[in-house]
Amino acid sequence: MSLKNNILDLRKRKEKAQLGGGEKAIQKQVAMGKLTARERILAIVDEDSFCEYDLFVEHQGREFGMDKKVLQGDGVVIGTGTIYGEPICIYAQDFTVAGGSLGLMHARKITKIMDHALKLRVPLIGINDSGGARIQEGVDSLAGYGEIFFRNTLASGVIPQLSVILGPCAGGAVYSPALTDFVFVVNNISKMFITGPGVIKSVLGEEISMEELGGAKVHSEINGNAHFYAETENECFEQIKKLVTFIPWSCDKKAKSFPAKPPKPEYKIEEVVPEDPTIPYDIRDCIKCIADDSDFFEIQKDFAGNIVIGFGRINGETIGFVANQPLVLAGVLDCDSSDKAARFIRFCDAFNIPILTLEDMPGYLPGVDQEHAGVIRHGAKVLYAYSEATVPKITVIIRKAYGGGYIAMNSRHLRADFMYALPTAEIAVMGPQGAANIIFRKEIAGAEDPEAMRVEKVQEYKDKFANPYVAASKGYIDSVIEPEEIRKVLIHSFEVSKGKVASMPKKKHGIPPF
C-alpha cells in the first residue's frame, strides 16, 4: 500500500468510527433534542482545538454474543482541547453507541483522560449520557465505575472537575458527578437517579415520571445535586465556558486575572440596602455594587436561595462570594444553605480563590424539620469550612449579624483576615426583640402596660447593642466603613492579602461533619 493509500485508509477508518452508532442512532439522538457526543465537545472547546484519543478502541465483551458486535470507540469520546485558550481534558459518552453503556474499555478511556488531567494539572470536563452499566460485561463494568470514582476522589481539590449531565445518568453512574465540583443540568435532557421510575413503581408502588424523579429541576431546586441549570444544551455550554474563566487550572495555580472594570453606575449600595433590618432586599444587587462590571456568576441559583454563592471579580481577580440573602427565608442559615455554602468555601480554598462574605442574617431557621434533619451537623460544616480555609477571607457585615450566625459567617474568631461593618450593622447575640424579652422579662411582665414597656426595652437594647460599635470597641471588627467605600476598601484588603501565609496543624486530614 502506498503512503497515499494508507492515508486514505486511515481517513476511512476515522470517518466510520466518528459516526459512532451510525446514521439511525444519530437520528434518534437528534429526535430526543440532543446533540451528539462530538458535537457537544466541539461546542465547548475553542475552534480547531480538540484532539481526540482512543478513537479505535474496541470493547472486550465476549459473552452473550457481544464478540460479534462492533461498538465504535466503545461509546465514549475522549480528548484534550482549550477553552478561551486554557487547556482542559474532556470526555463525552456517546449514547448512539450501545446507549453509551459503560463497559471495561469505555471506562478505561475515561480513566485514561482522567489520569491525563491529573498529570497535566488541567480541569476535567465529563459529559454524561449513558444508559448505565453494560450488563453483558458484568463485574468488569462495575470495576470501571469504581476506577472512575477513585480517580474523581484523587483529583478532588487538585484539578477542577466539571460534570455535564446531557441524558440519562442512572444507578451507580451518578456517583462520578456527585464526587466532582460542579454539575450542569439541562431541562428535559438531564435525568439522574439511583433507582428509576420502573423499580420505584414495582417495589414501592409509587408512580412518578423520570422528570419528576430526577429531572434538571429536581437537582437544581430540591436536592442541590446540580450547580447550574440551563434550558438548552447551548446555554449549558456557555455556562461551562464562563465558569472556566473564573477558576484556575489546578490547586498549584491562581485563576487568571482580567483587566479591572468598575461596577455599573446604577448599582449603589446605599440605594440597595433598606435601613430597617426586617425589610428584605436582593443581596445580589449588593454584590453587583462591588464586583467588576457588576458581573456576578451565581452557582446553585435555585437551591437554598437563602444563601447566595458564586464568582465575581474585584480589581480583575476572581473572588468567591458567599452572602446571606434577606430576600429568601430572611437569609437564615439552615441545613441546605449550610451545605451549599460549606462546599463552595472548600472549593475556593482548594483552588486559591479568596473569599468575600457579605453578612445579613437573623440566625438559624427554627423548626422541628430542621432539628430533625440535623441542622446542628449541617450548620457545623460552615464553621468547619471557614475555619479551615487559608485563602484570604474578608467579611462585610451589611446589617444583621446575630448569634451563632455572626460566628459562622467568617467571623474574626474563625480567622477572617479583615472584618468590616457598615454603620447599619447590628452585631449582637440575638435580635433586639428576642433579647429584650429575655433580659427584661420581669420588668415587662410587672409593668402596668407590658406592651409599652416591651417597646421601650426593645428600643433600649437597640440603642445599646444593635450597632457595630460594641464589636468594634473590642477589635472584633477592624473598621466601620461607609457604603461608598466598600469596593475601595476591598480592593486594598485583597491586594495586601495576596502573600498571605496561614497553615494548619500537621494532620493526615480533618474530619469534617459530612
Partner 1 sequence: MCTEDYSEIIVHDCTYKTKLTTNYKNRKKWEAKNPNHIIVTLPGTIRKIEVEIGQKVEAGEELLILEAMKMLNKIVAPKSGTIKKINIEVDQAVPKDYIMIELED
Please give the residue ranges that form the binding site for partner 1 (CB under 8 A). 203-206, 221-222, 274, 278-281, 302-306, 326-332, 336, 362-369, 372, 402-403, 430-435, 437
- Give the pairing of strands 161-170 and 191-193: parallel
What whole-number distance in Å separates Cα of residue 488 and Cα of residue 493? 9
Taking the least distance from each CB to partner 1, the nearer of 339 and 349 is 339
Least distance in angstroms from the C-beta of 305 to partner 1: 5
Taking the least distance from each CB to partner 1, the nearer of 3 and 203 is 203
Instruction: Tell me the chain's radius of gyration from C-alpha atoms.
Output: 26
What whole-number distance in Å separates Cα of residue 20 and Cα of residue 77? 9
Closest by Cα among 225, 106, 103, 239 to 175: 225
Taking the least distance from each CB to partner 1, the nearer of 299 and 365 is 365
Bridge partners of residue 320, in order along the sequence: 311, 355
Least distance in angstroms from the C-beta of 335 to partner 1: 9
What whole-number distance in Å separates Cα of residue 366 and Cα of residue 320? 28
Taking the least distance from each CB to partner 1, the nearer of 97 and 218 is 218
- Report how far Cα 308 is from the mean position of its chain's Cα atoms: 11
Residue type, 69: K
Widest pairwise Cα distance in the chain: 109
Taking the least distance from each CB to partner 1, the nearer of 67 and 369 is 369
Taking the least distance from each CB to partner 1, the nearer of 31 and 368 is 368
- Report how far Cα 197 is from the mean position of its chain's Cα atoms: 27
- Give the pairing of strands 307-314 and 317-324: antiparallel
Taking the least distance from each CB to partner 1, the nearer of 8 and 438 is 438
What whole-number distance in Å separates Cα of residue 338 and Cα of residue 304? 9
Least distance in angstroms from the C-beta of 244 to partner 1: 29
Least distance in angstroms from the C-beta of 514 to partner 1: 20
* Cα distances (angstroms) measured from residue 163 to each of 229, 245, 484, 501, 508: 12, 16, 40, 32, 28
DSSP string for residues in 34-81: ---HHHHHHHHSPTT--EEE-TT------STTGGG---GGGGEEEEEE
Least distance in angstroms from the C-beta of 299 to partner 1: 16
Least distance in angstroms from the C-beta of 369 to partner 1: 5
Least distance in angstroms from the C-beta of 408 to partner 1: 14
Taking the least distance from each CB to partner 1, the nearer of 202 and 473 is 202
For cell 487559608, what's the residue?
A: 390
The dihedral over CA atoms of 137, 141, 143, 148, expressed in degrees to the nearest 10, equals 160
Burial of 138 (0-12, 13-18, 19+ CB in 10 A): middle
What whole-number distance in Å separates Cα of residue 111 and Cα of residue 109? 6
Taking the least distance from each CB to partner 1, the nearer of 324 and 410 is 324
Q: What single-letter DSSP state applies at residue 466?
A: S
Cα four-point dihedral sign 228, 229, 233, 234: negative
Least distance in angstroms from the C-beta of 176 to partner 1: 25
Least distance in angstroms from the C-beta of 382 to partner 1: 17
Closest by Cα among 291, 286, 441, 300 to 358: 286
15 Cβ neighbours under 8 A, 6+ residues apart: none
Least distance in angstroms from the C-beta of 344 to partner 1: 17
Taking the least distance from each CB to partner 1, the nearer of 180 and 190 is 190
What whole-number distance in Å separates Cα of residue 386 and Cα of residue 355? 9
Q: Where are the alpha helices (DSSP H) in 121-214?
A: 139-155, 175-179, 197-204, 210-214
Taking the least distance from each CB to partner 1, the nearer of 30 and 279 is 279
35 near 43, Cβ under 8 Å?
A: yes
Least distance in angstroms from the C-beta of 366 to partner 1: 6
Q: Three cell numbers at 82?
A: 482549550
Taking the least distance from each CB to partner 1, the nearer of 217 and 254 is 217
Taking the least distance from each CB to partner 1, the nearer of 354 and 362 is 362
Least distance in angstroms from the C-beta of 272 to partner 1: 10
Least distance in angstroms from the C-beta of 406 to partner 1: 13
